[in-house]
Structure 1
Amino acid sequence: MNGTRDGPPVDGSRTHHSPLTRAAVLAAALEIIDAGGVDRLSMRRLGDMLGRDPMALYRHAANKAAVLDGVAELIWAQLTVDTSDPDWRHQLRLIARDFRRIAVDHPHMVPLLVTHPLATPLGLRPVGTLRPLEHILSLLTKADFTGTDALHIYRALFGFLYGHVLTELQEIVERPEEPTDLLRLGLYRLPVGEFPLLRSLASELAAYDGVEELERGLDILLTGLAGPLPSGPESA
């Protein structure tokens, strides 16, 4: 057999038809993660995927953590930021749509992209993961925002995007065979007296549309950002 039920096929022919490069290692690692999640990735499985002895991989990545850092850089490189766009609101909307597309295309990478950096100081993160931040700061400072305000806008945008994609990609249907939304979502378990509004919104919750929710959220966020930003926390 060339593969397993829960992983991508092993293609030893890659050994003969393409050189072993860092780009090839990271592309194969992403393929494994896309097929079965981050936990499926190992140096042994990656070597099998490439048709190489796993020891040969260490010339391109010191360990699995280094491979994951490289794959994160590979993903972030797909996020396009046009720093010359004179309409910063339009550009942020395009960035948000691009980020959602990447998340939907690579759902197993989302927890790594969202939560892993929080445990890593900025200066120790792979430089490729920081380029979108630098480019967005450049876009916003060219639009006459101060560096501090540009950073606040970046944090507000990606705080929203991280929450959005985590919400969109989670499983919300408990019993898909049930005829009513209340039963399908498992909301029947909630006490009526304590959660009347949540239970009443079963149909709206079941009709969740990631694209529409993204655009609605961006409308709210960008409308607020278009006005003057407060100088700091209001005094009590």
Structure 2
Amino acid sequence: MDRTPNAARRPQLNRARVLAAAVELADRTGIEALSMRGLAQELGVVPMALYKHVANKEELLDGMVEAVVGEIGPPTGGADWQAAVRGRVLAARAALLRHPWASRAIESRTRPTPAMLSHLDSVAGLFLAGGVSADLTHHAMHALGSRVWGFTQELFPAPPTDPAAQAAAEAAQAATAAQLQAMAAHFPHLAAIVAARSHDPGSVVGGGCDDAFEFEFALDVLLDGFARLHRAGWTSAH
């Protein structure tokens, strides 16, 4: 009979295993529910065992961000700078869509991690390799903002996730036509753009907007604008 204790049969705990378990747990329960105690239970160890590999929860979050940013992978070659930047940003977006909690974790970092700096450096490098000046690249990176990471702070609030609130939202959507008519009397311009929106019930943008379309539309507008400025020889001195 095998009398090996359960602890001896478990894979050896290391930093990589701790971070992988933390990412998986956050994927299932969200970043708000993540705790060192809960992670220890997930791994079948006492909480103190985690502190040999991560000093505290902030270091744990740093490592989780590193893991997600590491999924973006290296830049693809062979494309012009505009297509290369677009592909890099959409690769970042794909990574963050796999981990819905990651955007909040990235925003919460007071200092960029090495993987974050490497990603930013790679995006800047795509501009520079395409002949875009360091000056314009600097301002382009500011304009892209969080899109570099694959997410944005949207104009419209996200739809509720609570079942009761979701049901209320769906009931409200049924009255959209009447609401639009009433809105048009006081806010005609808002009513016009709401009526013209693309629809995607699963959107995280909110209000039925097509989430992927809105993100890529804004990205393409920005990239086209950067290309126009580059062709015109723009500098901030102007």
TM-score over 0.5 for the pair = yes
Distance apart, 1:101 and its partner CA: 1.7
Aligned-residue CA RMSD (Å): 3.1
TM-score, normalised by the number of residues in structure 1: 0.76
Q: Which moved more, 1:133-142 or 1:195-204?
A: 195-204
Which of 50, 54, 65 lines up with 1:72 in the alignment?
65
Distance in 1 separating the partners of 2:27 and 2:179: 31
Match for residue 110 of structure 1 among 92, 96, 103? 103
Q: Distance in 1 between matches of 2:7 and 2:89?
A: 36
Name the CA shift for 1:141/1:37 in 2 (closer, same or farther; >3 Å). same
Q: Choose the corresponding residue for 1:198, options 187, 190, 200.
A: 190
| CA apart distance, 1:100 | 2.1
Q: 1:204 to 1:154 in 2, by over 3 A?
A: same
Pick which of 58-67 and 80-89 moved more: 80-89
In the alignment, the residues of structure 2 paired with residue 48 and residue 95 of structure 1 have an alpha-carbon distance, to the nearest angstrom, of: 37
The answer to whether residue 106 in structure 2 is matched with residue 101 in structure 1 is no
* Distance change >3 Å, CA 80–CA 14, structure 1 → 2: farther
Distance between the aligned counterparts of 1:169 and 1:111, measured in 2? 15
Letter in 2 for 1:180: A
Distance 1:38 1:57 in 2: 18
The number of equivalent residue pairs is 214
Match of 2:163 in 1: none
Q: How does 1:26-105 map to 2 (within 5 A)?
A: 26-82=19-75, 84-105=77-98
**Structure 1 residue 95: Cα displacement:** 1.6
1:166/1:130 Cα in 2 relative to 1: closer, same or farther (>3 Å)? same
- For residue 20 of structure 2, what is the amino acid of its counterpart? A
Structure 2: gaps (5+ residues): 1-5, 161-165, 200-208
CA distance in 1, matches of 2:57, 2:173: 45
1:140-168 residue CA offsets vs partner (Å, 9 max, x unmatched): 22222233322322222234467954439
Identity %: 27
Residues 96 and 150, structure 2, Cα contact 8 Å, conserved in 1: no
Contact 1:28 1:50 in 2 (8 A): yes
Question: What is the TM-score with the length of structure 2 in the denominator?
Answer: 0.75
Q: List alignment gaps of at least 5 residues for structure 1.
A: 1-12
